[in-house]
Structure 1
Amino acid sequence: MMRSSKPLTAASTTLRRRLFSSESGSSRWTSPGHEERPKGYLFNRNPPPPGQPRKWEDWELPCYLTSFLAIVILGVGLNAKPDLTIETWAHKKALERLEMESTSNSD
C-alpha cells in the first residue's frame, strides 16, 4: 500500500512560495528596512561624539557583574573541591598496601 505524497508536496510548495516570494520585495520573514546601505558600524549604531563615553544600556551592568561573580565563584569552588577521582583513590590504596607489606616484612 503506497501513500500519496501530494499533501506533502503541496505543503512544501506553499512554504517555499511564502519564504521566497520576491514580488513585493518583502515577505513575512524580512522587511526592506529604511536605509539604502548599512553604516558599517557594529550593530548599525553610530559611535558617540569624540571625547564622550558610550552610554551603557540598563541591562549591561547587571549582566557584567553577574558574569564576573559567576567566574570568580566557579574558579574558587572548582579549585577547592576535593579530588575524588578513581586514580587518586587507587593510588592511596596502593600506598596503604605497600605500607602494610613493608610493616609485615620487617616483623
Structure 2
Amino acid sequence: MSSKLAASAAGMLRTRISSSLRTRGGGELKRFTTPGTQERPNGYLFNRPPPPPGESRQWEDWELPCYITSFLTIVILGVGLNAKPDFTLETWAHEKALERLQNQQAQIAAAAGDSE
C-alpha cells in the first residue's frame, strides 16, 4: 500500500511541476543555450583574425599585470609554504622527549658527582 501511495504522489508531483514549467516558460521546454549569431565558423579564437606575418600580437592592458601578479603569487607561496615553521604534534612531542632525556642525564650526572 505504501509503494502505491508513493507512486501516485510522485506522479501527481510530476504533472504539477511539468504543467507549471510549461506555463512559465511560454510553451515547449527548450534548451538553455542558443545557437548564436555567427553564420559559419571562421576558425579564429574569440573571432579575432591573426596578425599579419612578421608582426607580433599586441598585449592588452590587463595581461602584463596579470602575468606579474601570477608569477609573484607562485614565488611567494612557494617560498612561504616551504619556510613555514613545523608546528606538528609529533615535532613538539619529540622536542619535549629530548628535553626530558637531557634533564634525566643531568640528574644522573649530578647524582654520580655527589656520590664520589
TM-score, structure 2 normalization? 0.64
| Correspondence for 2:114 | none
Specify which structure has the higher proportion of helix. 2
Rounded Cα–Cα distance in structure 2 between residues aligned with 1:102 and 1:42: 74
1:29 to 28, 33, 37: 33
Rounded Cα–Cα distance in structure 1 between residues aligned with 2:91 and 2:46: 50
Q: Which runs of 5+ in 2 are unaligned?
A: 112-116
Rounded Cα–Cα distance in structure 2 between residues aligned with 1:95 and 1:17: 72
CA RMSD of aligned residues (A): 2.8
List per-residue Cα deviations over 1:29-69 (Å, max 9, x = no partner).
Answer: 21343242341x54454322222111112221121111112
| Correspondence for 1:24 | none
Q: Which structure exhibits the higher relative contact order, with contacts defined as CA atoms closer than 8 Å and separated by 6 or more residues?
A: 1
Give aligned-pair identity as a percent.
Answer: 53
Q: Which runs of 5+ in 1 are unaligned?
A: 20-27
| Correspondence for 2:52 | 49
List per-residue Cα deviations over 1:78-102 (Å, max 9, x = no partner).
Answer: 2332221111111101111111222
Rounded Cα–Cα distance in structure 1 between residues aligned with 2:107 and 2:34: 82
Post-superposition offset of 1:76: 2.6
Secondary structure of residue in 1 paired with 2:29: helix
Post-superposition offset of 1:12: 5.2
Rounded Cα–Cα distance in structure 2 between residues aligned with 1:30 and 1:18: 9
1:70-85 matches, within 5 Å, as: 70-85=73-88
Secondary structure of residue in 2 paired with 1:61: helix
TM-score, structure 1 normalization? 0.68
Rounded Cα–Cα distance in structure 2 between residues aligned with 1:38 and 1:63: 29
What amino acid is the match of 1:103? Answer: A
